[in-house]
Structure 1
């Protein structure tokens, strides 16, 4: 999360227009560690987070956390939100916050201007009525007070209904707003599925499995696969993957950070379409950490199959982690890499 966003959120609470209530619960949706946390009453604060790394960071701070799958909330006098980028997902979060807020409760959110903060304030106003805001650090904090006379409950409920798991791509998978390539099959994943050999066998893993599309394709076309373990750090994808893979018994789906939570020397093969963005910027280190995790998770004779955008610089990391590799396909702006025989790090 952009530190400027967290600083601006702090300013809103520290004399900027939003008062931390002296009594009553405080709820922090999509919470992340940052300078606003110390301003909130720890004994009355409950945090919600669906992404595993910040969830674990908040837990390490001793904060109270809702189960990651929680989507209905008890009333809170103050609700803070760090909104997601995707429009329908963000609308669903604003709507859930306003629906659960008591009369007079405040919902406060903050975004960078470059991610449409002014538009986001208008979005909150569509269901809440009047909003207020402050701008600092090229970010905007904005808030609304629950007033049943102006609250558009019907629209809020419609926004919640739109932010639900649903079949997409003619039933090829289940998905929901905010997930990677949420309303269509990603072209890179589709190409990777086509390149995995049908005679692949044994124990496999899907790192960053998302909605489960890649795993489903492998299980449909590779009959010698004994079992697939799916690892996904975004909890909102878990229920979607479960629906996508409904009927397959040789799968296990885990909410996990693959860079930390995967057993070593377990798998005959690993496949992945690793994330490579932080905000709008490329972050090749994410994919590099996935490659390193795969090398640890594979058996000595195991293989990695991965897809990446052609420009991403993964080859040096693969060479450091595997004894051999090759680009087995290069098409449509994507490269498919197969790497064999992981090196054991000393």
Structure 2
């Protein structure tokens, strides 16, 4: 199978023997998934796809994998997240492990030269094509703990954990703030509530503080870890799990579902997760249960809500964001 994405097409034409290498935070690409490497990622959907094909895959929040003969880091859009991955690799893998870093020019791959230099890691350019560049280095101990990337901030009277790999890093998103302002009037006083796409855990913690029984789900492993830390920081309880929308919730029903669903995948607009959320919500709500979500006003969710629920309300609209509500 030939590589499908530009970064993998660049790798495919290299002379390197990538057998057994660790692919870190790569895109979906059949060339990788049918190869002989191993996956390290925080994306639950990606992990599930690899495991479904019998491919070895793990996350940085699980038990450590065996030392690989080499590592390829796919540079992410979030520069600080790329730095975290470098620190994690330097802290957890043997000194001298070959490292390659690949990424698209519009994703900031050329900044890697300065990042590696700041860490004291040598670097050379290996190849450039398809508007992508590949650099090579070797891992070393750099004296910086990746744990230091975890910070905290205060919002709505709560202490929230923050990480560069989590949406809204270090601040309360304006859309979530609008959603929170409308929740008191529409949620039950008791019951089971699902926070879908939990991010840093602001909704889960807010709901748990009100005495609701909370389940929080996110496809992003960094968000799952952040929500767990946020609940713990506030002395609150809740079930937090990694999952792609409702994939890990078969047979579960809730009195309410709340969400600020994502619509970006790196630089691309992706309505897929929000569409699956809206379409699947009725079968995961009890009779009379309610879905409440916030979204950018321009997103085409009214049609999806109409088809899934037969109707909906707009609870708030500040021209930038809208809060929608629909009931079974």
Output the TM-score relative to the length of structure 1: 0.83
Contact kept? 2:7, 2:104, Cα under 8 Å: yes
Higher alpha-carbon Rg: 1
| Counterpart residue number, 1:291 | 278
The equivalent position to 1:206 in structure 2, one of 166, 183, 195, is 195
Contact kept? 2:198, 2:224, Cα under 8 Å: no
- Say if 2:17 is the partner of 1:20: yes
| Counterpart residue number, 2:146 | 160
Query: SS of 2:311's equivalent?
Result: strand
- Say if 2:205 is the partner of 1:216: yes
Query: SS of 2:143's equivalent?
Result: helix
The equivalent position to 1:309 in structure 2, one of 276, 296, 302, is 296
Contact kept? 1:207, 1:232, Cα under 8 Å: yes
Distance 2:320 2:223 in 1: 26
Stretch moving more, 101-110 or 64-73: 64-73
Contact kept? 1:265, 1:299, Cα under 8 Å: no
| Counterpart residue number, 1:192 | 179
Contact kept? 2:165, 2:223, Cα under 8 Å: no
- Say if 2:76 is the partner of 1:84: yes
Distance 2:10 2:63 in 1: 26
Contact kept? 1:309, 1:333, Cα under 8 Å: yes
Instruction: Give 1:266 deviation, angstroms.
Output: 0.9
Instruction: Give 1:130 deviation, angstroms.
Output: 2.9
Query: SS of 1:275's equivalent?
Result: coil
Instruction: Give 1:173 deviation, angstroms.
Output: 0.9
Distance 1:113 1:125 in 2: 19
Query: SS of 1:196's equivalent?
Result: helix
Instruction: Give 1:310 deviation, angstroms.
Output: 0.7
Residue correspondence of structure 1 range 105-144 to structure 2 within 5 A:
105-127=97-119, 128-144=121-137
Distance 2:27 2:144 in 1: 28
Instruction: Give 1:290 deviation, angstroms.
Output: 1.5
Instruction: Give 1:125 deviation, angstroms.
Output: 3.7
Query: SS of 2:17's equivalent?
Result: coil
Query: SS of 1:168's equivalent?
Result: strand
Contact kept? 2:113, 2:123, Cα under 8 Å: no
The equivalent position to 1:328 in structure 2, one of 302, 306, 315, is 315
Stretch moving more, 237-246 or 202-211: 237-246
1:21/1:306 Cα in 2 relative to 1: closer, same or farther (>3 Å)? Answer: closer
Cα RMSD (Å)? 2.6
Contact kept? 1:330, 1:336, Cα under 8 Å: yes
Distance 2:93 2:217 in 1: 34
User: Gapped runs of 5+ residues in structure 2?
Assistant: none
| Counterpart residue number, 2:8 | 6
The total of aligned residue pairs comes to 319
| Counterpart residue number, 1:344 | none
Query: SS of 2:75's equivalent?
Result: coil
Instruction: Give 1:323 deviation, angstroms.
Output: 2.8
| Counterpart residue number, 1:37 | 32
Distance 1:167 1:2 in 2: 38
